[in-house]
Every structure is written in structure tokens, then in C-alpha cells.
Amino acid sequence: MLLGAKHLLAASLACLAVAGCSGGNQSALLGGWSLGPASRVRPNGVRELASDRAVACRPLQSSLRGAGGTFAFRSNGSLTVLLGYAANSLGPTGAERGYIEGCAQPLGGNTPQVPEGETLDWEGIVSTDGNFGIAFAAGKRAMTFSGSALNARTKYQLLLFEASPQLTWSEAGALALGAPVQGVLSTPSLLQNGYRLAGSAVFFILVH
């Protein structure tokens, strides 16, 4: 799993953290996301990176733009994932270099484990090269999942994870998406309405 050019050059992955909104211990309602103190800590989330991972699972350079935009994860032909984000404190012409990565199989490396009893449908990460404290303005952006990989009779859940500076991932939020409507799962994007990206990455897991 790639976490930005600076992380690649470093001997170890350091300073990777994502905080909630207005302090890590305060609950907040952000576009349907109920965020609060970590509900589960996963200290054993380190796994080896599979050497035969498909091209569709590999990182894609995608800058976070101050004016807002959409992260379009690589499609494997059966699932397309889009994550919109609002204008933010980088400013109208600002940008922070970063990467996105998503896959229908575990990404490996230092990533959260799929909760026991859940079936993995997709997991992905958005990372920057280290500009911390990015705050997102009000917006009406969405995160969508679409494609033949989704089952119309299945109810899905989206999990949000954050990491401590010591790279221990913990679950920070969960959102019930229900069943697809006309082949699409949609939810308001996390990256808007006051959310603050205090670290350099955020991680999602779609399960059923």
C-alpha cells in the first residue's frame, strides 16, 4: 500500500493519523456519519502486501484540491467508487499531492482488518503527502458505489478507520448504507461540513 511519495522514501511509515471533528473525543454528526471515540482498536492490523495484487488495486496519484473535487478510485470493471470532497482550508488555488488506492481484496501493509463475521466488498485509502490540519467547508458531496459487484438484496455497511501516530488503526465510525438503489449505494461524503483531516490519511471498508 502506497501512502505518498514521502512515505515511500522513508524507512518506515510515520506520522499517519486521522482525527475526527473538533477533537478526537467529541462526537459529531457529519452528513450522516456519527463519529466519536474509537469503538475498536486493532493493534494486529499489520499484514504483508500481496505481491500479485491486480493493477486495479494499485495506488493512483490524485491530489487533494483546495477548491474541492472528486476522488475516482480505479475501477475493476464490476465496482466503481467515487468520493466527493468539499472546498477546504488549502484555499481556492491550493492543492496537496496525494494518492488514492482501493480494491475488492485486502490492501495489505499496515491497514485495518475486516471485522470478524463481515464479508469484504471493497476497501480504500485516501492519503496526502503530509499537509495536516485540513478542514473541509460546507458541502453536498457524496460517496458512491456502483456496478455489478453490488447485490440488490444485500444491505451494506461502510466503516471508517483512523490511525494513531504509532500506526495502530482504530474504527472511528460506521454507517449503514442499506441495499443499492438502482445499482448504486450513496451516502453524504465524510470530507465536508466541518470535518478536519488532522493526519494524512483516511481509510474506508465496505462490508456486508
Q: What is the pLDDT of residues 40-57, one digit of tens each?
A: 333 333 333 333 445 567
| pLDDT class of 172 with cuts at 50, 70, 90 | confident
Q: DSSP per residue over 59-122, as a string?
A: -EE-PEETT-EEEEPPP-SS-EEEEEE--BTT-TT-EE-EEEEEESS---EE-PPPPTTPPEEE
Element (H, E) at 7: helix 5-9
Distances (CA, A) of 49 to 1, 31, 42, 127: 7, 33, 18, 17
| pLDDT class of 19 with cuts at 50, 70, 90 | very low
| 5 phi, psi to nearest 5 deg | -60, -40
Distance in Å from the first CA to the final CA of the chain: 23
Give the mean model confidence (pLDDT) for residues 166-192.
87
Per-residue pLDDT at 5: 34
Mean of pLDDT over the chain: 75
State the Cα–Cα distance between residues 54 and 203, nearest whole angstrom: 19
Beta bridge partners of 104: none
Which of residues 11 and 50 earns the better pLDDT score? 50
Per-residue pLDDT at 76: 75
Give the mean model confidence (pLDDT) for residues 196-201.
74
pLDDT at 93 over 70: yes
Which of the residue ranges 13-27, 47-61, 123-137 has the most confident prediction, judged by mean pLDDT?
123-137
* Residue 201 exposure: Cα atoms within 13 Å on the Cβ side: 31
Which of residues 148 and 39 earns the better pLDDT score? 148
State the Cα–Cα distance between residues 206 and 208, nearest whole angstrom: 7
pLDDT-wise least confident of 5-9, 52-56, 66-70, 95-99: 5-9
